[in-house]
Structure 1
Amino acid sequence: MMRLMTSDLDTAWWQAREVSSEREWLLQVWQQPPIPALTPVTWREATQALRALHHPNILQAVEAVIEDGRAVLVCAPLSGVVLSQWLADHESMPVRQAVLVAIGMLDALAHLHESGLVHGHIRPDALWLDITGRSLLGGFEPAGRTVDLQRLATARGVYVAPEVAAGLRADARSDVHGVGLVLYELITGRPAVSDPQPRRALERLQTEEIQVPAPLLRGPGEEGLRSLLLRTLSRDPLQRPASAQALRQALQDWLTPALLDGSGDTLAQRTLNTLLARLASHGDLPVQAEAVRRVRRLAAADRVNLDEIARAVLDDVALTHKLLRMTNAAYFSSVGGGSITTVSRSIALLGFEAIRDLAGTLPQLEDLRDSTQREALADEYARCRVAGRTAARLCPTQAEEEESYIAALMQNLGRVLVQHHLPDEAAQVRQLARSKGQSEDQAARAMLGLSFEDLGVAVGRTWGLPDELLRVMRPPAAGTPVRAPERRGDWFRLLGGVGNVVAATRTRDAGRDLAPQQAQAIEHYAAALGLQAQQVWEAAGATPPPAAAGRGSDGVAPPGSKPGPIPAAAPSPVHPLSQAILDLRTALIRQEGREACLDIAGEAVLNHLGCRHVALLVLEPASGLFLARQVWGDDGQTLRAHFRFPGNDPADAFSALCAKGADALIRDATVPGLAAKLPAWFRTHVAAPAFMLLPISDGQRTAAALYADHAQPDGFRLSDRDLSLLRSLRDELRKLFTTPERRKA
């Protein structure tokens, strides 16, 4: 057993490693026998139908065993988080993302119901979010077992249908109600029904209709979702959607216009729904073998350079899309997910080993059997790289070159996805553009009902991409004035836009009829960016068409000039401790030294929590004492001089806590009974009214600890998310004490 993931009255979920094979598994362990006359044979029979289920949104059960007298269901390993933990850390989810999670649940349920099974107890503890943002359903009841209403924990929420609370057996519509309960909590941040008294909670569920709080789901286009959610939560099963598939379709019918900014165009909605279905079943674009080999070689090197590996990733369009999609998924929300706009930050978040492993698992372009499709997709990738490199070369500051490159790539997201997942439609768009002398945008609207740009932004929303990135995915529309950039994001929009205009002139499908329009567009972009058109062509390594050569642009900078600096980025909305975790990971990867890494953590805790002191306590092997190695805050010298205690003295409260590896939060250390238990050196020289201690293990014992105190009793006002992020920050600091190179620093 490696780590407890979640638990309730009936079961506990553990991440475990099989000793003989070193393989990892996810184990569901029952606290009490789940069936009468529990034996290995009866347990395997009771779970046979569950182990036969195979679906992308169902947690795969592979074996049923008895260990130490307890029933265990062995499931496939999962890089993810249980939804109950995610809710404890974040409370609520953006509406569109919540609906997408519900759709994943309903896909799983539809398959389950088609197999003749019912879940019976859908709840946040039974749903997982994996590292890519996909929802997976688990927590199934073995055959013949029903929810024990007498043992139901209701303080954190009631997750049974009213008819089940009344004693009836669960059926498909009960499962539909369960999805409604989870969706309600995802949107509102609180359970639909909760009460510490189980009997009272079940009575409320059976006698009261659930209402959505007034301020929620009142935005543009959200009234339809509100109505659907209330119908799903109806006490009367006959008033609910008839099946999981019916509710899924209703949610998709609401979601599609929401992704398309309210567009009611039927063809556009059909196109998006088809593409989303293909993405759900075959979501990954194929990577290019040579680029992947380079990424894996760099990631496995003894000395890894973050900038170098980021450039290698950016050279592969599919891998760039994959990283941005993964690190903006809900799984990474606590450490900046939903705000990641660069590959560098994605790599820092995942780590080099994960990048190396990920690159080796993706399908490869060279393995596509259809040579026409393979060449067409390779052309799209090449076009993206030309656009990205042009945008980066024109960027006035080196620090923003990566974001300029990504803006150009992401402006092609819709085009690339259509080419891979809807190749026939992509060919028809190209054919129409050639035969009618139209732009691809005009041809796409005629064939698909929407532009490639609209399609890319809609998919980006389902991926949870930040608004900042979604905005730069929309360059100025063809034929409209190109205005000088006013904000930081405007620069990336224009640099990506001009890069793509240049790239369009170099494709095999570039038509002569459009060359004058493209040359004129480049002149307009150049003027807005403070450049001459010739500089744009030179950055792309291209020659302007004869009509454009030598033509000047009014009001632009002289030859050889560069546009002015891009404005500094606006303050990040990321939680300060999340940002510190990300910065610390980047510093560890860049091998910036222990002191720099500790400063990131210490300053973040000091400033965010309003501490009086923050200190890193380190066990000195020679003396066996914990000493304050680094101190942040007021009068650090005093703390450094007196904050020392033995590593193995049970009578010293700090020594005992470190020996146990136990986290401690003392909200009021002035209480007489508690104050007397604190060591004399602390009462005399530190005398903190409130403090916390987070021990840091080196894998064998407590090697260090993070200490923080406050000037006032009960001065720490910590949310569940603060506590979770503090522990995550401590886990990152642990790397400084478990890596030999760091211990030498």
Structure 2
Amino acid sequence: MPTPTTAHPPVRRLGRYELRQLLGQGGQSAVWKAFDPRLDREVALKLHRAQASDGQTLTQWLHEARAVARLTHPHIVPLFEADVHDRHPYLVFELVEGPTLSQRLREHGAMPAAEAVRLMLGVLEGLEHAHRAGVIHRDLKPSNILVDRDGRARVMDFGIAVNQGQGTVQDALVGTPGYMAPELAQGLPATVQTDVFAAGLVFYEMLVGVPAVRESDPYRALHRLTHEDVALPAQLPHPVDDALRAIVHRATARETSVRYASAGELAAALQAWLTPKDTGGQVAGHATLEFLMRRMRHKSDFPALTDAVARIQRLAASEHESLHGLSNEILKDVALTNKLLRLVNSAHYRSAGGGSISTVTRAVALVGFAGIRNLALSLVMLEHMQDKAHAASLKEEYLRSLMAGNVARELALSGREAEEAFIAAMFHNLGRTLVQFYFPEEVEQIHRLMHAGRGSGLDESAAAVQVLGLSFEELGLGVARHWGLPQALQASMRKLAADAPVKKPSVPTERLRLLACAANELADAVLYLERAHHVEALKAVAARYGAALELAERDVLEAVQRSRERMAEMVPALDIQVAAGSRSQRLLDTRGPAQGLQRSDGLGEHDLDTVVQTQAGELQDVAEPAHDLAAQGLAAGIQDVSNALVENCKLNEVLHMILETMYRSLGFGHVLLCLRDARSGMMIGRYGLGRDAEQLAARFRIDLSPTATDLFALVCKKGVDTLISDARVPNLAERLPEWYRRQVDAPTFLLLPLMLRQAPLGLIYADKARSGSISIDERELSLLRTLRNQAVMAFKQVAH
């Protein structure tokens, strides 16, 4: 009998390549371990599933592949060949033994910071090489990064890359939604910053262990990256200091003006973090700064303060952000909102607004974007830096900084310079303020060194260096850099040497620095010296800076006096209690520094504090029935809107005031505005307030066609105000549209339709998270309807 033979499966081939093992596959392609008999080597072969639709597409694809094939770099997986088999494009790469970064993260979780930085530096080196050759990756993600046996990152799959010199087809949105830069979703062309954004998201994933955006729906993923800032969680598997957090946040900034300009710039920042250089004689070594920042982060809410400052600063730095964005940011913090509104209702601001101001939107419109931004930044410092054990010293330092800001504003020549000078002077002594809050024991040591003995004490800078390892100024500058504060603001934080001549500034940034220095010296004189010595000290500062800033002595003295008057208004509005006889009280003394005039009401210096405390007490919330407080808030908002309508404010400002009034007065979880789309005829969500409101608004698409009979359609078409106490009741749930049940599903909500000429114009939607929690009495309902009618009136006003 013949010997039986063993049957071997047929060898799968693609051209000359033997396909030996499937390494991985996705929706569009499969990657095989293949063998090239011609060159006797194993390779990785990527075969696209879809056939090329036409010859032009194939030509374009081959053109891009040739651009990638020219890339030769240790951190790029080389492309050997690109061809087509039976109209299926395929690519042949070097076979790299090792997992993808995504496999590594799935198996081992998040990486320690230093390890992640070292791996990312390799990725960025590869990207920078490609960018210099005119090639943008456009689909950078962990699955397109291999980690070879030596632990080296190798970037692969430039198969959809763009050749910058030749251009390519831009009609289709190309890439993976969870790693796409916002500008791509807006239809803008890819640039090197597109890859920087994706690299930032990959780095985030290396530190956290999971992607920043985990949405199965690609449109929701794109929407989140377009409308939400990427922020590292406070708690991570491995420690990540604030310096590295700042790098991640800047790399993933939605605004390209804030984001790193190139892969090389991001790599330089990471390299500086990994291997800090000697400062070459400067006291503030990088390691010392990082050590102090780590202590701050673990000691109190420094990360929360950092995030708050960074968010407000991003709004200020972006050319595209609006009044709506700034007011939304402020409204996220209830305490900050209340303090800011009390402040803008003090006499100084109220006179500019022509009456009481009850909404942040109105405050921004009247006081100005820069003014409210600066007030918010200063209030964020106050809100996050509260410590009962050191309340007196912290309060004093905050009020001293606030006084300096007001003095700088008064010394400035123009409105724009005034706002820049205010915030520059407020942050001039940032390092001192931070140390006062985070390191109170070290502050005591510094003070002891400064007053060690008559004539033998150190100055503040030398004492700080001896105790902390760096000066207050260098600490403040280091934190300012990590917060991403503007360079002009950082420059204004540098002090002048006590014996240095003050020269007339040749550029605006130097003038800003002089204003900040002069204002802080004036504030110091008022706070730290007995009142009898104020005039002499103020005149000395005026003599030093007067010529350079083109200010007469009288100008300086009057600026200090006006600042004291403003401080006397601001302090009670901020609900800050100033103790009788304290040094802080000197900042509020409105009698005048030179003449010692009696107040018109006959009160003396110590009596003034009683007035301040009484006024502050009157501003504190009084326990009133919830409905009374809600009605008061609604009524105040109606007055705000009425004033805005008379002044012909922009439509969006009026609408936002209406939403904000409802949101704050009745404590809704979300308040959204939907408007009828002229093209589709549907009622579409536009914007709103509340957690993830922009995302939520995007899900509202109400069918207004004659056949639509769901609850939302009927409410809009009939113009019926509707309150749903429990949307989970079966017979009611059946009437809700499918999109609402699947994507919103709030248990209780209010619908206020906007009708114009008996036709649906818009809809105001408000909800809460607990069934039956919306309780509206007749008075509140009447006020809500007035607000709704004001919205309709605003549209009519625009139409005419």
Greater Rg over alpha carbons, structure: 2
On whether the aligned pair clears a TM of 0.5, the verdict is no
Higher RCO, 1 vs 2 (CA within 8 Å, ≥6 residues apart): 1
Instruction: Output the TM-score relative to the length of structure 1.
Output: 0.38
For normalisation by structure 2, the TM-score amounts to 0.36
